[in-house]
Amino acid sequence: MNKSSFAKNHLVALILAGGKSSRMGEDKALIYWESIPMLKRVYQVANKCTEKVYIITPWPEKYQPILPTECEWLTELKTEGPLVALDQGLTQINSNWILLLGCDLPLLNSDIIQTWVDQLNQLSPEILALVPQKYGRWEPLCGFYRQEIKIELEKIIGRGKNSFQELLAQIPVQALYIDSQTGKMLFNCNTPSDLEMGMG
C-alpha cells in the first residue's frame, strides 16, 4: 500500500503504551495475537499509513526488543491516562496531524485507516479532530488530532478533567461513521474475556 500523499511529517502516528493493564492482569502490549505482540501489530498498520510512528511510554526498554529500530520513542513522564499522554506527545511532536492509537487494537485494518487519512485534506481548518463515533460515543484511541488541539487539551486538563468524551464534546470534530466492518476493527482488549472473545 502506498502511504498517504501528505508531505513528510504532516501526518504521524502516536501509539499509547503507558497503561497499567490492571483489568487484563498482564501487559496488553506484549500479549500475542496470531503470533504477533499487539503493540507490534498496531505499529505495523500505523507504519503503512503515516510518515513516522512514535510510541509514548514510561517503559521503552520493555518494548524496544519487539519493534524496528526506526521507531521513535517518547518518554511518558507521568501515567495519568490517554488524554495527558496525548498532551505530552504533542509537546514532543511537530506535525500537522497525529493519528492516535491505543496499543490494544489487534484488528486494525490499514485499508480502512487509509480511507480516513484521505479525508484529512478535505477538512475545514476549524475542525480539530477526525474521530469514529457511534451512538453519540467517540472512539478516541483510533482518531486523528490536529496539532492545534493542544490548546483545548490543556484547558480541560487544567480543570482537572481527564475525559476524551468531554474534550470532544467541546471542540469542532468531524465524526467518522462506524459500520460493521469498522466496528470489528475497533475491537480492543481490556480483560481476559475480551481476549478470549476476540480470538474465538
Q: For each of the domains in the chain, give its residue range(s) and CATH number, in order of start.
A: 11-199 (3.90.550.10)
What is the rounded distance in angstroms from the CA atom of residue 138 to the CA atom of residue 169? 9
> Which amino acid makes up residue 183?
G
What is the rounded distance in angstroms from the CA atom of residue 186 to the CA atom of residue 139? 8
For residue 5, what pLDDT is reported?
46
Going residue by residue through the chain, which has 200 residues, state the pLDDT in tens, using 9 for 90 and above: 444 444 434 899 999 997 665 555 578 889 988 899 999 999 999 999 999 999 999 999 999 999 999 999 998 887 788 999 999 999 999 999 999 999 999 999 999 999 999 999 999 999 999 999 988 899 999 999 999 999 999 999 999 988 999 999 999 999 999 999 999 999 876 655 655 555 54
User: What angle do the packed helices 149-158 and 82-92 form, to 10 degrees?
Assistant: 140
For residue 89, what pLDDT is reported?
95
What three-state secondary structure class fits 132? strand
